[in-house]
Amino acid sequence: MEARIIIWLQSLACDWLDAIFWIITKLGEENFYLLLFLLAYVCYNKKFAIKLMYYYLISVGVNALIKVIVARPRPYVSNSEITNRLPASGYSFPSGHTQGYYLSASVVSAEWYIRNKEKTVSTKLSIAIALLLMGVAVMISRMYWGQHYLSDVLTAMIIAIALVVLLEFVMNKMPESIKSAIFSSRATIILGGVAGVVLIVMGCLNVFVGFASAKVYKFVGVFVAIGISELIFKKIVKKDFNTTIGTRLINALLICLLVLPINLVFGNIVAIPKWLYCVIYFAVAMICINIFPMVVNKFVKRDDVNEKSNCK
């Protein structure tokens, strides 16, 4: 039954559907999550960004563990009628892309609801429906490419939402002193380093295999950048950046202009050694977290000085 669904979806394959589902499936990849993290870290709230990353790492660990235990082959491996239409490897159950999307959507929407309690029910419902429909599109895309069964994507959705509910419950019950300690600079460095080591060990044990192994090095590179930013760069450069809506939008635009092309080139066009991902994403994170805000702040301050001079 599940195989027939995939075969039917693949019978609809055409160039324009390929293009649409290629974009949609990217919403569940680690590249999208890293972009979301950098945007949140620089343009929104550092603590929320760190929470976003902690949740994602827990989700990745749970997903990888279940995949190893269940060891369900990909649909295209089990059924010769199903085509592997997009490079992938590893096991099928549960879907990492689907779990990644629903986790990010759940965390972001929960944060939005907390910050916008005054919004009408219709507004909140509209956003929830939009996120759900996009999630359904991600689920369909994973079956369209021949990577997952229906049960893979449905289970991944349930796991992601359940994880967010559980983690939010734990966070809400946690004393403020402990939460402050968890999100302090020192804890961020320590936990980030530990997570990086765990990811490397899991990679060496082939928990992550094939294309997924690049994920290990990307996260390690970003964690190292965060650690250096907190330990060294923060002491050299005062982080009294202008945080107006304008500067945040400029920073967000610069981050997207840097990260999106890099994700496209090194994720789909140019083949590079896996370890080089660590170097590339370390450099990207350092630029996004430190250089862009400094440059934008410098120009904003210069404009403010010029404006004051003109007023005189």
135 and 253 fall within a common domain: no
In the chain, the number of structural domains is 2
Residue at 307 is within a domain: no
255 and 273 fall within a common domain: yes
133 and 250 fall within a common domain: no
pLDDT tens digits for 133-177?
999 999 999 999 888 999 999 999 999 999 999 998 888 888 887
Would the pLDDT of 305 be above 50? Answer: no
Which positions ≥6 away from 223 have C-beta within 8 Å? Answer: 192, 193, 195, 196
pLDDT tens digits for 55-106?
888 888 898 889 889 888 888 888 888 888 777 777 888 988 999 999 999 9
pLDDT tens digits for 187-216?
766 766 665 666 566 556 655 555 456 777
Where does the pLDDT of residue 308 fall: very low under 50, low under 70, confident under 90, or very high at 90 and above?
A: very low
**Rounded to an integer, what is the distance from CA 257 to the centroid of its chain?**
17
The DSSP annotation for 38-81 comes to HHHHHHT-HHHHHHHHHHHHHHHHHHHHHHHHH-PPPHHHH-TT
Tokens of 98: 């689907």
In this predicted model, which residue has the larger pLDDT, 146 or 244? 146
Residue at 312 is within a domain: no
40 and 107 fall within a common domain: yes
20 and 136 fall within a common domain: yes
What does the CA dihedral 85, 91, 94, 95 come to, rounded to 10 degrees? -30
- Looking at 140, 175, 210, the residue that finishes a domain is 175
- Looking at 144, 175, 206, the residue that finishes a domain is 175
209 and 157 fall within a common domain: no
Residue at 126 is within a domain: yes
**Rounded to an integer, what is the distance from CA 165 to the centroid of its chain?**
18
Residue at 31 is within a domain: yes
Q: Classify residue 289 by its DSSP letter.
A: I
Predicted confidence at residue 257, as pLDDT, reads 92
193 and 155 fall within a common domain: no
Cβ atoms < 10 Å from Cβ of 234: 14
41 and 80 fall within a common domain: yes
- Is the N-terminal amide bond of 94 cis, ω within 30° of 0? yes
Round to whole Å and give the CA distance between 119 and 144: 37
28 and 140 fall within a common domain: yes
The DSSP annotation for 223-236 comes to HHHHHHIIIIIHHH
Where does the pLDDT of residue 267 fall: very low under 50, low under 70, confident under 90, or very high at 90 and above?
A: low
Round to whole Å and give the CA distance between 234 and 52: 21
pTM of the model: 0.82
What does the CA dihedral 184, 187, 192, 193 come to, rounded to 10 degrees? 140
Ramachandran angles phi, psi of 94, nearest 5°: -90, 175
Burial class (CB in 10 A: 0-12, 13-18, 19+), 142: buried
Residue at 122 is within a domain: yes
- Looking at 129, 154, 175, the residue that finishes a domain is 175
Residue at 58 is within a domain: yes
Tokens of 116: 């916008």
Residue at 198 is within a domain: yes
Tokens of 179: 């939460």
Nearest CA among 229, 236, 238 for reference residue 288 = 229
Query: Domain range spanning residue 264?
Result: 184-299
Nearest CA among 100, 95, 26 for reference residue 59 = 100
11 and 146 fall within a common domain: yes
Residue at 306 is within a domain: no
Round to whole Å and give the CA distance between 183 and 267: 31
Contacts from 275-278 at CB under 8 Å and sequence distance 24+?
275/217, 276/217, 277/214, 277/217, 277/218, 277/221, 278/217, 278/218, 278/220, 278/221, 278/224
90 and 138 fall within a common domain: yes
93 and 37 fall within a common domain: yes
